[in-house]
Amino acid sequence: MFLYCRQLVALVLELLLFGEPPGLVSGSSLCRETSSLIVRPHSVSITEFGAVGDGVTMNTKAFENAIFYLNSFADKGGAQLFVPEGRWLTGSFMLISHLTLRLDKDAQILGSTKSDHWPVIDPLPSYGRGRELPGGRHRSLIFGRNLTDVIITGDNGTIDGQGSVWWNWFRTETLNYTRPHLVELIDSTDVIISNLTFLNSPFWNIHPVYCSKVIIQNLTIIAPLDSPNTDGIDPDSSDDVCIEDCYITTGDDLIAIKSGWDEYGISYAHPSTNIIIHRLVGQTTSSSGIAIGSEMSGGVSQVHIEDIHFFNSNRGISIKTSRGRGGYVRNILITGVILSNLKVAIKFNGNYGEHPDESYDPNALPIIEKISIQNVTGENIKVAGLLEGIEGDTFKQICLSDINLDVSSKSPWTCSNIEGFSDKVSPDICEPLKSKINPESKCYRLSNHLRSISQGTWMEFL
């Protein structure tokens, strides 16, 4: 079943490189079709393991015992752990392979408000330390490492991190370790996260890192607009990732594609590649709808983003990097963007700063190239673009087309250390991007056949 998405990605790549597809049949979203097929032969309810859904009783042991028991079905088609209606308080627990964690529509998994219910684990090798403090980091509420075939789903059931205690510890500087995510999967393949609501994450919501073949669909992710660092979904050093049909409003980037931090990310060298994001709606008053970086030291490439809508937000699309990051961001296509009431539509920031420690190499310059942004409309936008590369490290082949923004600032575009092309951009684009897009400009783009994907339907291949 996962083959479809993988084949799609492989084919998309092939098309990008070689042009015409071998044979196409239109159909509905591959991501969606792949996910409906799995039925686990064995299912248990968390109540069979002594769990109490009163919102007060701790259920960490019940989750652990249920999952330990279900491990014996791993080689028999896997198993399902069902969480029925109720308020199920728990600390961090670990998933296993060939498992479906399924929530009832009225089920709420609640994160414990005691920090010692979230054990401390090692930093990721590509970060060298916790993201906000040196040393280890609290383990996510739902955690998995080295897994395959994992599904976290529900009929719009809720996973609520009850993160306000963590935001307060952050604000009062009383954290001892980096805050935990709601879901983190490390080194895992064939993952589906769907049909759920995530609320109030202590830190980032969903963090697949060193993962492959990840499908994230139909999620509602909500945290207060002023909650610190509550990123929605952060694919990190991961490949073959599809994110679709999500509604996200949080206190930081809605989706941030990453791949490790400065010298640690450079030496771990694990890129994020083959990432498809479509039909995303949301709001962030502090950060960006879609961000790439700022941690991108392992490289980010082959990202196709389509049909996104951000409102009442700070920034729409941003690429964040810095001297010392190394790595690259290339072959990015973003198309079909609707923005309403934003401060900045598009921002490239080559001087983001934030280094893990003093050992970063200031001569490690990121390569940012072949970024295409097409079909963007915006109303009530303050600034169209702040496009700032790095001195001595120009961002190249930046191609903007069919952009129509209703902008209030007298200087709609500010551009420095960037080069590229444009076509049909209003208000008038800045000088460095004035050359008209032509066949020689080699802008990153999809073939004509793939444009039909871009117009609403995805395809299934014979």
Ligand X SMILES: *[C@@H]1O[C@H](CO)[C@@H](O)[C@H](O)[C@H]1NC(C)=O
Contact residues: ligand X, CB under 6 A: 32, 35-36, 115, 146, 151, 153, 155-156, 169, 174-176, 192, 194-195, 197, 218, 220, 245, 307, 336, 338, 375, 454-455
Q: How far is the CB of 157 from ligand X (least distance, A)?
A: 8
* Neighbouring C-alpha atoms within 13 Å toward the C-beta of 338: 8
Residue nearest to ligand X (CB): 336
Closer of 322 and 374 to ligand X (Cβ): 374
Neighbours of 27 (CB within 10 A): 13
Would you mind telling me the total number of residues written for the chain in this entry?
A: 462
Q: How far is the CB of 387 from ligand X (least distance, A)?
A: 21
Closer of 279 and 325 to ligand X (Cβ): 279
Residues linked to residue 193 through DSSP beta bridges, in sequence order? 152, 216
Q: How far is the CB of 366 from ligand X (least distance, A)?
A: 29
* Neighbouring C-alpha atoms within 13 Å toward the C-beta of 43: 13
- Quick check: 186 and 206 in contact, CB under 8 A? no
Closer of 13 and 338 to ligand X (Cβ): 338
239 classed as catalytic = no
Q: Which residues contact 370 (CB under 8 A, 6 or more apart)?
A: 330, 331, 332, 396, 397, 442, 443, 444
Closer of 220 and 349 to ligand X (Cβ): 220
Closer of 192 and 290 to ligand X (Cβ): 192
Give the type of residue at 38.
I
Closer of 263 and 306 to ligand X (Cβ): 306
Identified catalytic residue from 190, 239, 245, 252: 252
Closer of 114 and 434 to ligand X (Cβ): 114
Q: How far is the CB of 76 from ligand X (least distance, A)?
A: 15
Q: How far is the CB of 153 from ligand X (least distance, A)?
A: 4
Neighbours of 242 (CB within 10 A): 27
For 343-381, b/e burial (b = at least 16 CB within 10 A) is ebbbbbbbebeebbeeebeeebbbebbbbbbbbbbbeeb
Q: How far is the CB of 176 from ligand X (least distance, A)?
A: 4
Q: How far is the CB of 343 from ligand X (least distance, A)?
A: 21
Residues linked to residue 101 through DSSP beta bridges, in sequence order? 81, 152
Give me the active site residues, please.
252
